[in-house]
Copies of this chain bind each other. A is one copy, B any other.
């Protein structure tokens, strides 16, 4: 019987590990596999059609939805679930392309505000239809209404556990 890094019952040195049961393993692996495939597909599609990775698209999305199409860097980082460092680098690239501008924050001299430019908005508007179509084709349209709401609840449960401090 070989070692099973998700499923084996194995008495070891330190703590008794609660390995995954068959059902749990099946769910985790299906989810993992689906997510790898889906994100790869979406990333490739966006790269091909709009010349940006998905993370950049999400930055543009969040900015486009914000009042004045602008957000504090820290706020933008939270909304995109990105590290500050990642966001800093990404916004620097977006700024080079003229899709975003950074300005000083009026009420906090440490702060920076990122704002979506008209060019950036146009790029987003041009990219959105194909991206949404891909999300639909690969995820949404493959699920029943019941599965769709289950997915939302599952997502919420996971987010609730991880988004605290």
CB < 8 Å neighbour of A64 from B2, B39, B121:
B2
Question: Considering the complex, which residues of chain A in the window 62-119 have a beta carbon less than 8 Å from any beta carbon of chain B?
Answer: 64-65, 81
CB < 8 Å neighbour of A132 from B6, B139, B143, B163:
B6
Inter-chain contact A20/B125, CB cutoff 8 Å: no
Inter-chain contact A30/B152, CB cutoff 8 Å: yes
Residues of B within 8 A of A121 (CB): 3
Residues of B within 8 A of A19 (CB): 132
**What is the interface of chain A mostly: helix, strand, loop, or mixed?**
helix
Complex CA gap A31/B15 in Å reads: 32
Question: Considering the complex, which residues of chain A in the window 143-160 have a beta carbon less than 8 Å from any beta carbon of chain B?
Answer: 143, 145, 147-160
Inter-chain contact A30/B159, CB cutoff 8 Å: yes
Complex CA gap A33/B162 in Å reads: 10
Residues of B within 8 A of A20 (CB): 132, 135-136, 140
Most buried by B among A3, A133, A162: A162
Which B-chain residue is minimally distant from A162 (CB atoms)? B37
A26-62 to B contact mask, C-beta < 8 Å, 1/0: 1111111111111111000000000000000000110
Residues of B within 8 A of A162 (CB): 34, 37-38, 41, 138
25 example contacts (A-B, Cβ-Cβ < 8 A) are as follows A2-B64, A3-B124, A4-B65, A5-B64, A6-B135, A18-B133, A18-B136, A20-B136, A23-B152, A24-B140, A27-B140, A28-B140, A30-B152, A31-B152, A34-B155, A34-B157, A36-B81, A37-B163, A41-B162, A137-B161, A138-B161, A142-B157, A142-B158, A142-B161, A147-B150
